[in-house]
Amino acid sequence: MAPRSHSFRSHPRPYRAAADMILRLLRIFVPLAIVGAIFYLLIDRPQTVTGRLRVTSDVKGAEVLLDGMQVGVVTDTTLSRVVAGRRSVAVRKSGYLAEPEVVFIDVKQDTLTVVTFRLIERAAASRDSDSIGFLESLREDIPVDWEEMAPPSLSSDDAARHRPDESEEEFAATEEMIEQDTALPVFAAEQTPVRAQEGITGASIVVSSNPPGAEIIINGDSTGHQTNYTFHDLLRGTYFVAARKQGYISKPDIVQIDLSRDYQNELVAFSLTLDASLPSPQLTVSTEPIEGGIRVAGKPVGKGRVTLDVALGKSLVEFEEVIGYRTPESQLVELTPETTSMEIIGRYERLEGKAFLAVMPARTRTIKGEELRVWVDNELFVDKLAQKLDGFLIHKLVAGKRLVQVEYQGMVQNVHVDLLDDEVSTVTFAIESFLSKKSLRLRIEPVTSLKDWQKRTRKLAIVEQK
């Protein structure tokens, strides 16, 4: 007997068998699909590289445009998560003209780039044509037929060889005709530059560089302007534009611009890189009287005091907030080939609050004041007092989580304490020994009111720090 073939139809419950098979397939392929999707999202998805852009103007409230599009903010402002790469920046404000009109910058990853504009009132912005050395390189749009303008003239050799049968009167007349004919080309040549410089309307050249502040050279001569700058109402012709900044190498070296039509607006952008042969510029930043956080060009660089290598040009130095202190103002510093090192200080100003901090020994005994030092948020409050005491109380602290550091007999320990308004937070310390090793232990006591704390310590020698 031939064996029977099995199929869904021969199964007593064909639909249930089909469903079971589909479930088995789903159990295999669904986890694979999920793993593949996670792999795509976490690994294959392209990561957007971004930087920060700060746009400022001498007249505040100017609308900011990035790549020609409104971004919904006004100067002064800092844009975060700007896509890295070559970007154009412009500002506009009713009643003002921006100088320069547009700036091209290179936004770099995790770096703060600063762009500054000058705004000029339109009523006071009647500009004269910028004076630029003119080159006679572009003449295709003004046809000049030199042969028609310069009639043939006799050479001096031909004039000297007159015919033997020519009389003296005829020879003198010939010489007079030669002098008149040879004067014609000179006259035509003197008038030609006037025709060649026939004006065009509204032509301009915008010159920018990153970093800005480079001297603008046009047709081999200094214009007296620095990038970023816009030259207005220029004559037709060819202009060779270059940017020069000491300590930097400019790319490209020179750009040729041909102005030949009305309202022609040309943009020239230079990238300036530090000359590697120069010494590396250094910037030192410190904070007083506490160790505050420091950021340079938008990046955290350390706390308290840091020295780092930076590029020539402008760098924005910022300071992080510390509870209980007024944050120092940000500073925009500039290093040049003449000034390759600089040191600045950010001064934190302590604010007055209503919280109290007491530091006392854990066991009832006198403190050796000359061996005690106490800091709050890295600001030194007690520095080796020349007296014996049972504890001390610091007044007028701002409430919040504060870092308290105690040094006693050469051992140091710190603890975070929550300070409350009109309350006394107490930190006690003790020296513990284990075998031959000693350590300093700090402990936070329950918060109490100032009145109750004073009752408890009225028989002790307490030094108060205002």
CA 52-53-55 angle, to 5 degrees, is 155
CATH number of the CATH domain containing 110: 2.60.40.10
Residues 177 and 245 in one domain: no
Q: What are the pLDDT digits (tens) for 344-359?
A: 999 999 888 999 999 9
Q: What are the pLDDT digits (tens) for 145-180?
A: 333 334 444 444 444 444 445 555 655 555 555 455
Residues 230 and 314 in one domain: no
Residues 440 and 360 in one domain: yes
Residue 139 maps to a domain: no
Last residue of a domain, one of 274, 296, 331: 274
Q: What are the pLDDT digits (tens) for 197-241?
A: 456 887 888 898 888 889 999 988 888 888 888 888 888 889 999
**Confidence class of residue 294 from pLDDT cuts 50, 70 and 90?**
very high
Q: What are the pLDDT digits (tens) for 295-324?
A: 998 889 999 999 998 877 788 999 999 888
Residues 208 and 245 in one domain: yes
What's the number of domains the chain is made of?
Answer: 6
Residues 97 and 181 in one domain: no
Cα separation of 67 and 58, whole Å?
21
Instruction: Please report, for residues 128, 159, 233, 304, 424, the alpha-carbon distance to residue 200 in angstroms, rounded to integers and kept in the order given.
Output: 14, 45, 8, 59, 79
Q: Model's pTM, two decimal places?
A: 0.45
> What tokens were used for 27?
């159990």
Please name the residue ranges forming H helices in 260-341: none
Tally Cβ neighbours within 10 Å of residue 421. Answer: 12
Strands (E), 211-292: 215-218, 221-226, 229-231, 237-244, 248-251, 255-259, 265-274, 282-288
Instruction: Please report, for residues 50, 208, 383, 385, 403, the alpha-carbon distance to residue 410 in angstroms, rounded to integers and kept in the order given.
Output: 47, 59, 13, 15, 19
pLDDT of the residue at 149:
37
Residues 110 and 160 in one domain: no
User: Across the strands, what pairs with 465?
Assistant: 394
Q: Label the pairing between strands 423-434 and 448-449.
A: antiparallel
Residues 300 and 263 in one domain: no
Q: Please check whether residue 206 is in contact with residue 102, taking contact to mean a CB–CB distance below 8 angstroms.
A: yes
Q: What are the pLDDT digits (tens) for 371-393?
A: 888 988 888 888 887 777 888 88
pLDDT of the residue at 47:
62
What phi and psi, each to the nearest 5 degrees, are found at residue 402?
-120, 150
What is the sign, positive or negative, of the torsion defined by CA atoms of 132, 137, 140, 143? positive
Cα separation of 263 and 230, whole Å?
14
Q: Within 13 A of 99's CA, how many CA atoms are on the CB side?
A: 16
Give the residue with greater pLDDT, 169 vs 447: 447
Tally Cβ neighbours within 10 Å of residue 178. Answer: 16
User: Containing domain of residue 241, as a range?
Assistant: 204-274
